[in-house]
Amino acid sequence: MADAVLSLNVGSSSIKFALYGVGSTDALEVIAAGKIEGIGSSPHFIARDGSGRILVERRWENAAGGHELLLDELLTWIDKTAGAERLLGIGHRVVHGGAGFAAPVRITERAVAALSAFIPLAPLHQPHNLAAIQAATALRPGVPQVACFDTAYHQTQPPVATRFGIPRALSDEGIRRYGFHGLSYEYVARALARLDPSMASGRVIAAHLGNGASLCAMAGGRSIDTTMGFTALDGLVMGTRCGAIDPGVILYLEQAKGMRAEEVQQLLYEDSGLLGVSGVSSDMRDLLASPAESARQAVELFVYRIAREAGALVSSLAGLDGLVFTAGIGENSPAIRALVCERLAWLGLEIDAQANAAGAATISTANSRVTVRIIPTDEERMIAMHTLDIITPHRARTA
Ligand code: AMP
């Protein structure tokens, strides 16, 4: 078996991973991919090979194993069982790279210290991303590690798209819009360039609709605007996050309702969004299946806000040639795609109901003025590609 590279995407209660073989052609082939979920309660580990066959499934009955112990289990399983001869490197998803990290970097103690400064800007993700880097470095000290940032892809945005209307000194300090889901958008932009070079060279909105959700305006494959800003709270209504909100609401919560900053953070990141509005679930599948009026309203708001923000990005792009749906909801929900496209019909956008129901690669009609596509995202593969570029820069590779 070949040399391999490992991608890690570590969240508050999960470790998602993908192990790729780096073959003689330098194409990346999935050796194993999977996740450990339920960290902190009853962890569940599952890994499949490239064809979807289950390679291992294991449950732990108690919460005893934290992230580091379970990462150790994963790395040990990879060494012993997965069949990778040599682990060339480990790539990590890091949500916030601030203004300074415009591209993936090899991990050093200095880099970790610099990235720790962004923990308050991404409290749901950054601490877990950095803890995983430290744990993996301790567990495999000889293996090079690379940090890949969700903010980096958006560095091509013009200054006017990243500036808030606040005093200049604060902007200069870094209080500005950064944008997130960059690894997903970068993967989608590259895939689109391969699949449809003409659309890729035009004005495209990519809709990453998952538990976290955002839109990205791409001109010629480069990000020029996006709905997330200083933090991953901004923009669309998400699974548990509120999306764009009048900042006066936060002042009111603190001043009139006496809420502490930590309580407001919990409210905006964890208790809001689809979950908060519906009172039923943060999972779109549950909401679409629910008879509750509040669930219907949550779906309605989710779609309304996507269409509204898309309208703003059409203005940033000065028109629209293509729309791409990606991530859990975007790839798998014909109902949400249809509702979003219905609201955007004024753009001359028309979808083919059958193609949409079937989840076809192109779901717009031949007459549609805007081409609508579904492109499954693959952040783990993007991380692996960046990691190899950093640790073996001489290699030329195909995705
Ligand atoms: P992600 O964050 O990209 O993994 O997306 C996770 C979200 O995708 C889940 O919270 C679900 O709401 C949603 N999802 C997955 N499959 C479907 C489906 N078939 N229909 C609607 N939503 C789905």
Q: What is the dihedral of CA 386, 33, 84, 15, to 10 degrees?
A: 80
State residue 229's pLDDT score.
Answer: 96
Element (H, E) at 10: strand 3-10
Kindly state the average pLDDT of the residues 291-316. Answer: 98
Same fold across 3-149 and 198-374: yes
Residue to mutate, 125, 285, 375, 379, ligand 1, most ligand atoms under 8 Å from C-beta: 285
Q: How far is the CA of 208 from the centre of ligand 1 (A)?
A: 11
> 174: phi > 0 → left, psi -120 to 50 → alpha, else beta; which?
left
State residue 64's pLDDT score.
Answer: 62
Ligand 1, CB within 6 Å, residue ranges: 210-211, 239, 283-285, 327-329, 332-333
Examine the residue annotation and report whether 150 is marked as an active-site residue of this protein: yes
Q: How far is the CA of 49 from the centre of ligand 1 (A)?
A: 22
Query: Is residue 374 within 8 Å of 334, Cβ to Cβ?
Result: no
State residue 94's pLDDT score.
Answer: 96
Q: How far apart are the first and last CA of the chain?
A: 19
Q: Which amino acid is at 137?
A: T
State residue 233's pLDDT score.
Answer: 95
Q: Give the lowest-confidence range in 6-20, 203-217, 218-232, 359-373.
A: 6-20
State residue 124's pLDDT score.
Answer: 83
pLDDT, tens digit, for every residue of 382-397? 999 999 999 987 665 5
Kindly state the average pLDDT of the residues 103-124. Answer: 92
State residue 273's pLDDT score.
Answer: 98
Give the pLDDT band (50/70/90) at residue 24.
low
pLDDT, tens digit, for every residue of 151-166? 999 999 999 999 999 9
State residue 330's pLDDT score.
Answer: 98
Helix, coil or strand: residue 297: helix
User: Topology of domain 3-149, per CATH?
Assistant: Nucleotidyltransferase; domain 5 (3.30.420)
Report how far apart, in Å, the C-alpha atoms of 44 and of each of 15, 34, 169, 379 are: 10, 10, 48, 22
pLDDT, tens digit, for every residue of 31-88? 999 999 988 888 999 999 999 999 999 998 776 678 888 999 999 999 887 666 789 9
Q: How far is the CA of 70 from the centre of ligand 1 (A)?
A: 25
Active-site residue, from 26, 49, 72, 150: 150
Tell if the pTM clears 0.75, that is, is over it. yes
State residue 83's pLDDT score.
Answer: 66
Give me the residue spans of the domains in the chain.
3-149, 198-374
Q: Does domain 198-374 correspond to CATH entry 3.30.420.40?
A: yes
- Pick from 120, 207, 190, 109: nearest CA to 153: 190
Strands 44-48 and 28-37, sheet pairing: antiparallel
